[in-house]
Structure 1
Amino acid sequence: MTTSRMSRRGFLAGSAALGVSGLLTGCVGAGGSDDEGDAASSPEGNGTPESTGPVTLQSSLSDPQPRAALESLIDAYDGDVTLNTVAIENYRAQLPTYLSSSNPPDVLTWYAGSVARDYAARGLLLDLSDLWTGDGACAGFSDALRSLSSTEDGTPIFVPTNYYWWGVFYRPSAFEEWGVEPAETWDDFLALCETLNAQGVSPLTMGTGGTPWVAAGWFDYLNLRVNGPEYHRELLAGQHSFDSAEVRAVMDEYAKLLPFIDPNGRSYSWQDAVTPLVQKRAAMYLIGAFITQAFPEEDVDDVDFFRVPIIDPSLPVGEEAPTDGYFAASGSQNPDGAKALLSHLAAPEYQQQFIELAGSSNLPTSPDVDTSGFSPLVQKGITHLEETDEITQFFNRDSSDELQATADTALTRFLDDPDDVDAILADWQAAAERVFDA
């Protein structure tokens, strides 16, 4: 499995979908085939396929606000859609089964990048080329988004509808009360944690109970800061070992954080871990901008963030900007209906409607959505991504869902027993090799 290198300029290029003025699988195998593409295509010259019957949409958006937001988009759709919502960890585990079943869901929520390419390489995703050409719903999206939504040979297999940034989120009013400020260097960050700890505040909140993937956030960022974006991509593509000196250096820095993480976090979900932040019992949370959907409405204006501090200033600065959306199963019994629904979900008015109703700080992928009225926090997020050197996504999105499972096991073991790091990394590499060899 390989991942494509994406710079800040590349990610923000194109039709300004993510730029300064707009910001921030027929069965497709590794190479695809003409027969497969023809079987999946819509009537010639029609960029928006016609629905020919009921469509099933399998959704991992189980949190109340995103779920309600998606339901509103389905209610506005002039077609017959059955929406099935599954809790995300169960959904992740079942996704290969959904896609490979004899009668799969037609459309499914998930992520752009390597994780989508991985499913496409197994011949499980529908060719969506006609949505990216002519007057197709994604034809005006940026070249960077098209690349992120395509197989290695350039066949589009994904419809991106929103993206977001990661950062260290905090409450400015709480920092003012505690007499502290955001840190720019790693040493300053650790000193900030010490100061907060001395005041009886948990410096960091992190919910890994039921959502163990959250632990990969710190791993990703520390690897970006210790070894750089290129090494990070190569590691997740199987070109380096998790049982290496470079990864051990990452875990050495991770270990420095453990005394500062709220110990209740091992029983919290990511949403539960927001509560100590809201109540000012915890100070900071490394998470995506979707955190705002878990904040009480009256407190959303008291949310800010700063970048994960720099450790090695000689390295390019990488930031995570995951991209969400939908793909369709190659085994869909109604490919035209699936693409008609995808066109609806990608339309600018429905992108904007979803973001507003979901209560998140996500950003639209369509260049036709007016972002000028977005909140100051979102405007800062746009600048944050514009000013970084390189963009990654998240552990599984830059690798695969199967590799994410190995990270979940290794990193939660590490949180529980950091002294066993040597055995943990050896086991992690062995598990990763089984994934890459499968």
Structure 2
Amino acid sequence: MNQASMNPAPAATAATAGIRRTVFGSSVVGRRSLLGAAAALSGAALTGCIGSGGGSPKPVASGAKNANAPLTLQIAFSEPKVRDALLTVVKEFPGPKTTVNAVASEQFRAQLSTYLTSATPPDVIGWLAGSVARDYAKQGLLLDVSDMWTGDGVCANFSPALKALSSTEDGKQIFIPTSYYWWSIFYRKSAFKGWGVEPPTTWDDFIKLCNTLKKKGINPLTNGIGSTPWMASGWFDYLNLRINGAPYHRELLAGEHSFTDPQVVKVMQEYKRILPYFDPNMTSYDNQTAVTPLVQKKAAMFLTGSFISTAVPKSVVDDLDFFSVPTIDPSIASAEEAPTDGYMASAKAPNPTGAKELMAYLAKPDPQQKYIELSASATIPTSPDVDTSNFSPMVKKGLALLDKTKEITQFFNRDSSDELQLTADKALTRFIDHPDELTSILKDWQKSAEKVWKS
């Protein structure tokens, strides 16, 4: 079993404040990260040891095909509790010595292509499932890990939805998911009881519930689109999933359909239908402060990620419950937004055998469970064999929701790109302010999206 020794952090600079580096089985220490705005709040995103700052990671000199050669794991960084959870888990990896390099999230994003196109890339990279991983696979930059999804492979009993999420268009698997979290409509149980209402099971019932609450002087919905305009995409995603289905949603974000299509118009018309039910102050809230009216029972429901449990007071956590966005078209297969994190290996990994061994270890039930328990995050395991008996009732319910859904999507930017997310932010916030300008808004959105897709 590898051991990690902890060296003092080097003097901080403006560019590398707090950054440290860890080598398991050798000598340096670091931390892991939450990648993406929504995941950063939940603790469900990738976490890892903090690297030395700028530039590409220094490769570990090793024989290219030596299965015992040292490994390099490249990730981003965030807070200490999540970092320490990963350090403990990787320290117990019984395989080759593993150097964990990490840099700040934005730097990591900017350098990701450099890592993968380097002549000596890191063996394993912590990242997000979805479109970006598929794009790199199309370029031949990712290791095919299909064998880990079949037979007695570590992912063989993972859900079909997770397998589809980790696959290329031609059916090869190039990603190993290790944690995810869910989006749903959250509410306070005591509030619903006091108002004499129940969670809806159909879309018509949901609209009726909103009308009932509004008549009681309660804002049915809260949201935070002030400094976090991407939150407006949550409703766009779910309405598109419920009206047009997950395949169309992915294709739309990939540029295979137009934002002016009749299908998108139908989505936006349904979005327009629920606009009167939102807290009128949502443009002054961000994704965290939007919980305030929910906590105060001035707003009833919030479509958000399970990271809401870290944003409300501890006294409110046990009063939280949720229901999935109700079905709109029964012919459309069920789908849920579940931002998923895990690992991918470089096609040119110096030690491909060791890379698979490390990813297999991180995907096993015991390491997944230990990471979740130590990090105390709102994430849930991807392995169905993790002992969930000590998980909270709400997390167990979230796990059951994702286990039974037919399709798993990520979030707008994870299923497309950060650049396309900016076009959505502009279009959807404008739509919320001026819903009667829908036609021109969709035309402008399509023009902006085409620039992103062509770049």
Q: Which TM-score bucket, shorter chain as reference?
A: 0.7 to 0.9
Aligned to 2:322: 305
1:326 aligns with 2:337: no
Across the two proteins, how many residue pairs are aligned to each other? 392
1:409 aligns with 2:440: no
| 1:336/1:276 CA distance change after superposition, 3 Å | farther
Which of the pair has more CA radius of gyration?
2
Aligned to 1:271: 288
Q: Distance in 2 between matches of 1:315 and 1:101?
A: 43
| 1:408/1:334 CA distance change after superposition, 3 Å | farther
Q: Distance in 2 between matches of 1:167 and 1:149?
A: 22
1:213 aligns with 2:230: yes
The answer to whether the 8 Å contact 2:155/2:176 transfers is: yes
Q: Which residue, out of 415, 426, 436, partners 2:443?
A: 426
Aligned to 2:213: 196
Aligned to 1:52: 70
Q: Distance in 2 between matches of 1:282 and 1:63?
A: 31
The answer to whether the 8 Å contact 2:64/2:350 transfers is: no
Q: What are the within-5 Å matches in structure 2 for residues 84-123 of structure 1? A: 84=102, 86=104, 95-96=112-113, 99=116, 107-123=124-140
TM-score by length of 2: 0.71
Q: Distance in 2 between matches of 1:210 and 1:97?
A: 31
Q: What are the within-5 Å matches in structure 2 for residues 212-231 of structure 1? A: 212-231=229-248
The answer to whether the 8 Å contact 1:164/1:288 transfers is: yes
Secondary structure at the residue paired with 2:75? Answer: strand
Displacement of 1:98: 5.8
Displacement of 1:126: 4.1
Q: Distance in 2 between matches of 1:312 and 1:143?
A: 22
Q: What are the within-5 Å matches in structure 2 for residues 110-189 of structure 1? A: 110-128=127-145, 137-138=154-155, 141=158, 145-189=162-206
1:338-362 per-residue CA deviation (whole Å, 9 max, x = no partner) reads 5554344323222112223344443
Secondary structure at the residue paired with 1:252? Answer: helix
CA RMSD between the two structures: 3.7
Aligned to 1:73: 89
The answer to whether the 8 Å contact 1:51/1:340 transfers is: no
Displacement of 1:286: 1.1
Q: Distance in 2 between matches of 1:330 and 1:52?
A: 17
What code does the residue aligned with 2:401 have?
Answer: H
What code does the residue aligned with 1:224 have?
Answer: L
Q: Distance in 2 between matches of 1:69 and 1:126?
A: 27
The answer to whether the 8 Å contact 2:73/2:126 transfers is: no
| 1:196/1:80 CA distance change after superposition, 3 Å | same
What code does the residue aligned with 2:200 have?
Answer: A
What code does the residue aligned with 1:184 have?
Answer: T
Q: Distance in 2 between matches of 1:348 and 1:383?
A: 17
The answer to whether the 8 Å contact 1:77/1:344 transfers is: yes
Displacement of 1:101: 6.7
Secondary structure at the residue paired with 1:188? Answer: helix
In structure 2, stretches of 5+ residues that fail to align are: 1-61
The answer to whether the 8 Å contact 1:171/1:283 transfers is: yes
Displacement of 1:149: 1.8
Aligned to 2:309: 292
Displacement of 1:248: 1.5
| 1:329/1:270 CA distance change after superposition, 3 Å | farther
Secondary structure at the residue paired with 1:319? Answer: strand
Q: Distance in 2 between matches of 1:208 and 1:326?
A: 31
What code does the residue aligned with 1:243 have?
Answer: T
Q: Distance in 1 between matches of 2:438 and 2:334?
A: 27
| 1:50/1:137 CA distance change after superposition, 3 Å | farther
The answer to whether the 8 Å contact 2:338/2:408 transfers is: yes
Q: Distance in 2 between matches of 1:154 and 1:348?
A: 25
What code does the residue aligned with 1:156 have?
Answer: Q
What code does the residue aligned with 2:432 have?
Answer: L
Q: Distance in 1 between matches of 2:430 and 2:87?
A: 37
Displacement of 1:128: 4.1
1:259-290 per-residue CA deviation (whole Å, 9 max, x = no partner) reads 33334444544333334433434321112334
Q: Which residue, out of 358, 375, 395, partners 1:378?
A: 395
Q: Distance in 2 between matches of 1:90 and 1:212?
A: 22
Displacement of 1:217: 1.5
Displacement of 1:368: 3.1
The answer to whether the 8 Å contact 1:74/1:81 transfers is: no
The answer to whether the 8 Å contact 1:65/1:293 transfers is: no
Q: Distance in 2 between matches of 1:282 and 1:431?
A: 34
Q: Distance in 1 between matches of 2:99 and 2:286?
A: 30
Q: What are the within-5 Å matches in structure 2 for residues 359-374 of structure 1? A: 359-374=376-391
In structure 1, stretches of 5+ residues that fail to align are: 1-38, 44-48
